[in-house]
């Protein structure tokens, strides 16, 4: 469960199915790696300008999970490497299971 905090330190609410993601733009290749159990490290070749890296993250994650790009939303961190993402139609445990199976192959 991820807790949103205001800049003043007040709790804004909980998003139980949000994915915590660390993005590495301008990488040599695209990839997704599970780290610390439920957190993701996503590398994309796109640069971090004009939303190109965000678009690449959404496309890559949607493709790996077998969902439409419209099902993947960036909840926070649009201009940061640290992001919270939501995948509509899949629980967090399902996302982790799918990505675990892909990375084992």
Integer Cα distance of 71 and 78 in angstroms: 16
Mean pLDDT per 10-residue section of the chain, whose length is 105 residues: 47 66 97 89 96 97 96 94 93 90 57
Contact 48, 25 (CB under 8 A): yes
pLDDT in the model for residue 83: 95
What fold does the segment set 2-104 form as a domain?
Conserved Hypothetical Protein Mth637; Chain: A; (3.30.1200)
Which residues have CB under 8 Å from 69's CB, separation 6+? 58, 59, 62
* Selection from 18, 1, 27, 8 nearest residue 76 by Cα: 18
Integer Cα distance of 67 and 85 in angstroms: 14
pLDDT in the model for residue 104: 45
Residue 64 burial class via C-beta count within 10 angstroms: exposed 0-12, middle 13-18, buried 19 and up? middle
């Amino acid at each position: 469960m991820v807790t949103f905090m205001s800049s003043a330190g007040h709790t804004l609410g909980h998003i139980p199915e949000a994915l915590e993601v660390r993005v590495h733009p301008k990488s040599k290749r695209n990839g997704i790696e599970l780290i610390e159990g439920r957190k993701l490290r996503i590398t994309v070749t796109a640069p971090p300008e004009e939303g190109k890296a965000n678009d690449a993250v959404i496309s890559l994650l949607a493709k790996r999970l077998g969902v439409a790009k419209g099902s993947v939303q960036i909840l926070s961190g649009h201009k940061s490497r640290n992001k919270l993402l939501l995948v509509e139609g899949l629980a967090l445990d399902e996302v982790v299971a799918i990505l675990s199976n892909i990375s084992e192959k």
